[in-house]
Amino acid sequence: MTVAALHGSHLPPYDATHAIGMTIGNATIVKELARGNMGIVFIAYQQSLKRRIAVKVLPKCLWTDDSIRLFEQEAEAVAGLSHPNIVPVYDIGENEFFRYFTMQLIDGTSLAAVLDRISKNLLPPRRILPVKTTLSVLRQLLEALGYAHRRGVIHLDIKPENILMCAAAHIPIITDFGISRMVGHPASARPVLRGSPLYMAPEQITLAETDARADVYAAGMLLFRLLVNKLPLAACSSYEDLLRKKVNGHAVFTRSPSQVNPRLHPEIDDIVAIATSPAPQQRYPTCSQFLDALRSYGRKHIEYDEK
C-alpha cells in the first residue's frame, strides 16, 4: 500500500512561475490560484471570449502513468457533469510543459476560508454559520453529489477546502475531483490512500470498494463542522491515529452537535450519527435520503434553532 500525503494530498514543491504569460489553448496564464490533489490551478485570460477562466495543469516533471490517469479521469468525470453546484470543464489538452484542462473561474472563496473568517468575529454568536445557511449549503451539495452519483461519479474528497462559495450568495460549488472514482472504470493497479483524514470514510481508508456512501460520510462530517464553532475531536496523537480510530469503529468525537451548540435540536444528532456511521450499511444509502432527513429537520426545528 502506498500512502499519498494524507492531509490535503498536495503536490510536492514545484516552481510554476515560468508558466505566467504562457499561452495554453487560446488563454494566457495570469497568476497561480491554488494547488490541489492532482495539479496547479491558474487564473488565465481567454482571448476568444474575453473572459477570465481557470486552468488546471499537471507539470511534465510529475507525469507518471498513475498521475496522468487520475488527471485525465478528473477532467473526464467533470466534463460529463452539468450541475449548477459543480464547476464546469471547458476543454482539455497538452503542450510540451503540461497536461491541462480549462474550467469556469468561480468568483468566490473556499468554504474553509469562510469558516475561518467568521470564527474570528468579535461576537461569539456570529462565529458560526446560521443553521438556515448550513442547511441550504448541505441541501445544494447533496443535490449535486446525488446528481454525480447517478452518473457514476464518486467525489471521495468532500471537505471545506474543495467547496467554493460564490461571492454573491451562499451558493456552494464543488471542485477538485482529483481523486474521484468513475464507476465501471478500472482502478489503479497500485492501491494508494488519498484523501483528508477527518472526512474519509473508514472503507476508503482500508482501500476497500467504495460507493456513494463514502460521499455521504464526508457530507455528514461537513454538516457537523458547519453546525459547531469547533469540532469536539477525541484526542489523537497523529493523523494515523485518527485513521485507526475510524477503521476500528472508535468514537471520533467526544460530544454530539447539540451538546456543542445548544441552539440545535437534539434530532440533528441522529442525522449526523447516521450519515457518519463507521459501517456503510448503516448510513443513508443515498444523498437523497440524507437530504430528506435534513428537510424534515428544517421543517420541524428551524425556528427553534434560530431563536
Residues 78-107 pLDDT 10s: 999 999 999 999 999 999 889 999 999 999
Q: Which CATH architecture group holds 108-306? A: Orthogonal Bundle (1.10)
User: What backbone phi and psi angles, to 5 degrees, belong to 21?
Assistant: 90, -10
Sequence ranges of the domains in the chain: 2-104, 108-306
Homologous superfamily of domain range 2-104 = Phosphorylase Kinase; domain 1 (3.30.200.20)
pLDDT tens track, the chain, 307 positions? 333 334 444 566 778 888 999 998 889 999 999 886 678 999 999 998 999 999 999 998 888 888 888 888 889 999 999 999 999 999 999 998 899 999 999 999 999 999 999 999 888 888 899 999 999 999 999 999 999 999 999 999 999 999 999 977 789 999 988 888 887 665 554 556 778 899 999 999 998 889 999 999 999 999 999 999 999 999 888 888 999 999 998 889 999 999 999 889 999 999 999 999 999 999 999 999 999 999 999 999 886 555 5
Contacts of residue 82, defined as CB under 8 A and 6 or more positions apart, other chains included, come to 88
Please report, as a single letter, which amino acid is at residue 288.
S
What pLDDT was estimated at residue 9?
A: 47
Q: List residues bridging with 52 in a β-sheet.
A: 45
Q: Which residue from 271, 260, 261 is spatially nearest to 298, judged by alpha carbons? A: 271
Reported pTM: 0.90
